[in-house]
Amino acid sequence: MDTHLIFAGVGAGVAFSTTHYLSPHPQNWRLLPSFVMALLLVWIGAKIFFIVNALLSGVNLQHSHSFFLSATFWLGGGGLVFHGALVGLLLALPLFPKQTISPLFIGLSFGHAIGRVGCFIANCCYGKLCSHNYPWCIDGRYPVQLYEALLLLLLGFFLLLQIKSAKIKVIPYLYLFLYSCMRFLLEFLRGDDEIRGMILFFSSAQWFFLILMLVAIALPALTLKRHIK
């Protein structure tokens, strides 16, 4: 059984369960169909962005197009890019009842953490070689997948605290900003440059999350400005 698929499935289950538990009960019956449709968009987005990364990394599309069109690629657990999945989720947000969107981002944090553990076990998304035998290195590399899993858990618990306060409406923006900062920095420890799609001095993920970081700041500011007027 594909390790990616197992951990992606468990992560999706945790994300749904968390969202369901934290959502207002009258909205719960609408959550499952929305979540299923969102998973489809998430999967497609993750696969499409993998192809984009491959092209940016110099993969010859003429030689690889048969693989990218195959069921093995589209149904297999490998070849998933998270920022593509995030684009899919953002596109799916109109499908969700408004009251479930903040809980959804909390569930995403916990579910994604499990997915990153799966990355570590499958030895993908690996870190750079360590220059010394540091205690925070494993098998001579920075276990960047586990660093991200830990930070995602912390992010999830931090957002969980916000849902108990009047700050619930800012949870999506908090998630987008804090995760973008986290991911932008963690990318410097990644060792799989050959498949990440480097553009100048940053990876495609870093450019994406740098832009998302700015958007996560700008949107609440614009909303606040309209309310003041």
Residue 27 burial by CB count (10 A; 0-12/13-18/19+): exposed, middle or buried?
middle
Q: Do the beta carbons of residue 147 and residue 117 sit within 8 Å?
A: no
Domain membership of residue 49 as a residue range = 3-228
Chain mean position to CA 179: 8
226 has a pLDDT exceeding 70:
no
pTM: 0.91
Question: How many domains does the structure of the chain reveal?
Answer: 1
Helix boundaries (H) for the chain = 3-22, 28-56, 61-68, 71-75, 82-92, 98-122, 144-163, 171-186, 193-196, 204-228
227 has a pLDDT exceeding 60:
no
CA 224, CA 133: separation in Å to the nearest integer? 49
**pLDDT value, residue 133:** 87
